[in-house]
Amino acid sequence: MATMTKKERINAVITGQPVDRIPISFWRHFYEKEDTARGLADAMLSYQENYDWDFMKVNPRASYHIEDCGNSFRFFKDGFTKPERLDYSIKKLSDLSRIKPLEPLKAPVLKEHIDALHYISKGISKDVHYVMTIFTPLSILGDMTETRNKLLEFIQEDPSLVKQAIEAITQTFEKFTEQILNVGISGLYYATTYWGSYDRLTDTQFDELSRPYDLRILNLVKDCPFNVLHVCKSNNMLEKLADYPVHLLSWDATDPGNKKLWEGRELTGKPVAGGIDHINVLPKGTKEDCLKQAEETAKKMGARGWLLAPGCTYSPETPSANLKALREFAEDFKV
């Protein structure tokens, strides 16, 4: 088969066509650089240039979605320590009524990330799809509380007040999504974080508190060429969320509480991403361990409908040798 461009390769994955080689992309944080728009953009572009991934998942500052709402953080410059939350905005039930829609261009941190995407758009190859990470409104609200269990308590106490807060957050990120569509992104990497798991919600709760708000945001990007849904954590709701309007599903397929990658593809009928254990094998194993897992996955998956990826964002402490070995594997392994 003739060599494909990166966009051709990804487009082949999402349309179920054969590929010239295994597509691959991995993603991580750059804690020491992501506290400014230019720093985040430069980190993403340098990382893409170094590893030549088949698409870029923009990994924004992990707290960007809640900083403009009164949640404060301390940042570190060692490259290995994630931001430490110093204060949170939802301390009691009545605080939920204080969550109001924001104007992204007037909210400093959201504006900073819009600026970062402008920089990335100018620097990235036109042959590379790049997607911006957005979290579900329910998960954003969960990050504003002292603990995620506290939000569960609020849901039991006053679900209507919780929905009021989720509505405000949804309006904010509808506007944010409209802004970043103007920048040139290929689509969204839409993540449920802790709130797409049966360890936390029932089907009924999810359908009331997440699905309608998720679909409002995803419908804004329905015409984009490449949207990814990441269903996080163990015991996830992969099958339930398979009808979301996205091109590719991502989850931790190496977690024993979740479907294997090949099982998930068969179950959902959608293209999938994953296959590498980002918690143990990738950061702690040898490159031989990584290659063994990659080969086992590739033999199961074949030449269509998937790309090699981590189960989630991987640790900055991961040896570069492991990543380079996987990148070479994707180039050379015959599917």
How far is 155 from 161, CA to CA, in rounded Å? Answer: 8
Q: Does any domain span residue 281?
A: yes
**Residue 267 falls inside a structural domain:** yes
C-alpha dist (Å) from residue 333 to 118, 254, 330? 35, 21, 6
Residues 218-256 pLDDT 10s: 999 999 999 999 999 999 999 999 999 999 999 999 999
Q: Is residue 1 part of a domain?
A: no
pLDDT at 210: 98
pLDDT reported for residue 334? 81
The pLDDT score that the predictor gives to residue 1 is 84
Q: CATH number for the domain including 66? A: 3.20.20.210
Say what the pLDDT of residue 204 is.
98
Q: What is the pLDDT of residue 335?
A: 75
In a domain, 291, yes or no: yes
Q: What is the pLDDT of residue 25?
A: 98
The structural domain count of the chain equals 1
Whether 21 maps to a domain, the answer reads: yes
User: Is residue 311 assigned to a domain?
Assistant: yes
Q: Which residues of the chain have pLDDT under 70?
A: none
Do the beta carbons of residue 198 and residue 237 sit within 8 Å?
A: yes
Domain residues for the domain of 118 are: 6-332
Q: Is the residue at 59 inside a domain? A: yes
Please check whether residue 284 lies inside any domain of the structure: yes
